Amino acid sequence: MENFVFQNPTKIIFGRDTERQVGMEVKQYTDRVLLHYGGGSIKKSGLYDRVVASLKEAGVDFVELSGVQPNPRIGLIREGVELCRKHGIRFILAVGGGSVIDSAKGIAVGVPYEGDVWDFYLQKAVVKQALPVGVVLTIPAAGSETSPASVVTNEEGALKRDIGTDLIRPKFAILNPELTFTLPPYQTACGAADIMAHVMERYFTRVKETDLTDRLCESTLRTVIKYTPLALQNPTDYAARAELMWASTVAHSDLLGTGRIGDWASHMIEHELSGIYDVAHGAGLAVVFPAWMQYVYQEDVRVFAKFATRVWGVEPDFADLESTALAGIERVKDFFRSIGLPVTLTELKIGTDRLEEMAAKCTERGPVGNFKRLDREDVHRIYRLAL
């Protein structure tokens, strides 16, 4: 086990009707917020009205900024920064999924900074201050509701880049599983792939003697594997939606990474995909992760055999652990297929024409991944394996 520091102070408010507490929570910080969200779905569902009513009841004034797209853009973040400055706003309330939260975090670091907020994502500047962010979550997937990360796309150059700092962990996150009843099947499945990817990035480590976190990871994966099909069959199954929602937060809360060194290559390889092609992040991960597994499993077959056995119930063949490992990888692909996700680039209608460019961009800051260090050529091979 590696030495580590773990601290995740986000207050989680979980359960039915909890969005009605948002005004009270915000009021502990301020009486004026930027209300940040995506498109019309929160209006259609009535969530917007309930949030606004709760803010008003608590005496919290707000300015709105909607229009966050999947793979949130730096352009809208710059707009949000200006809006906050203009209205003297010191708190960002994100109502939505990972994209909205990541966009809110971008605004939160941009407002107190004199330069252009994209500097942080280019690592040209270090975040020293951030406005507080609060969350009403509508999509269990990204885990951004308690994470220190924000992933943003710059339209010019199709660059998808991230920042990470404890300063942007949300102060509170309101998680009502009922808000996910209306999620379309494809988005539910993409969310599941994202949750699983957050666990698997941490699970596949070369660090030895990480028994407790191995088991906590396996637990979280098993819950997602059990409940995703149930949520797809019956979108208003509260128990299934609740398990997925809590799993998504636990998966990316850092607890499952304590004492380990995560891999994270698959995320970086996927970022290039969704930076260029505007693919849903979860769908991109469903394509990239199995290809990554195939490419790297021989680095430590026992870890993959353990994964196959404990997570997927594959009977271990002790005389041929490689076959056990490979069976586990097949089970991952089968599972993603069974919930309606693509597992090849071809299914995403992505051909070979830009694979070299993506491999180059992915590794422009050096090799990626820790389970196996991957250079440009390795990443290119993984894209080809995913075709």
Q: Which lies closer to a copy of itself via its Cβ, residue 239 or residue 360? A: 239
Q: Which lies closer to a copy of itself via its Cβ, residue 242 or residue 382? A: 242
Q: Which lies closer to a copy of itself via its Cβ, residue 253 or residue 363? A: 253
The pair of three-digit structure tokens given for residue 109, joined into one six-digit string: 């670091």
The pair of three-digit structure tokens given for residue 228, joined into one six-digit string: 């995703």
Name the minimum Å distance from CB 176 to a copy of itself: 9
The pair of three-digit structure tokens given for residue 10, joined into one six-digit string: 């986000």
Q: Which lies closer to a copy of itself via its Cβ, residue 160 or residue 169? A: 169
Residue 188: what residue type? T
Name the minimum Å distance from CB 65 to a copy of itself: 28
> Nearest-CA neighbor of 385 among 295, 281, 297?
295
Residue 6: what residue type? F
Name the minimum Å distance from CB 214 to a copy of itself: 8
Provide the 3-class DSSP secondary structure of residue 112. coil
Q: Which lies closer to a copy of itself via its Cβ, residue 20 or residue 32? A: 20
**DSSP of 114-148, one letter per residue?**
SS-THHHHTTSS-------EEEEE--SSS-TTT-S
Name the minimum Å distance from CB 113 to a copy of itself: 24
Are residues 364 and 323 in contact, defined by beta-carbon separation less than 8 angstroms? no
Q: What is the distance between the alpha carbons of residues 179 and 181, in angstroms, rounded to a whole number?
A: 6
Binding site for a copy of itself (CB under 8 A): 1-16, 18, 208-209, 211-213, 215-216, 218-220, 222-223, 226-227, 238-239, 242-243, 246-247, 250, 255, 258-259
Q: Long-range contacts made by residues 364-368, C-beta under 8 angstroms, separation at least 24?
A: 368/264, 368/265, 368/268, 368/269
Give the number of other Cβ atoms within 10 Å of residue 19's Cβ. Answer: 22
Q: Which lies closer to a copy of itself via its Cβ, residue 254 or residue 270? A: 254
Name the minimum Å distance from CB 227 to a copy of itself: 7
Name the minimum Å distance from CB 105 to a copy of itself: 19
Q: What is the distance between the alpha carbons of residues 181 and 381, in angstroms, rounded to a whole number?
A: 39
Burial of 377 (0-12, 13-18, 19+ CB in 10 A): exposed
Q: Which lies closer to a copy of itself via its Cβ, residue 118 or residue 307? A: 307
Name the minimum Å distance from CB 270 to a copy of itself: 25
Q: Which lies closer to a copy of itself via its Cβ, residue 248 or residue 266? A: 248
The pair of three-digit structure tokens given for residue 100, joined into one six-digit string: 């909205």
Q: What is the distance between the alpha carbons of residues 230 and 375, in angstroms, rounded to a whole number?
A: 39
Name the minimum Å distance from CB 344 to a copy of itself: 31
Residue 126 CA to chain centroid, in angstroms? Answer: 22
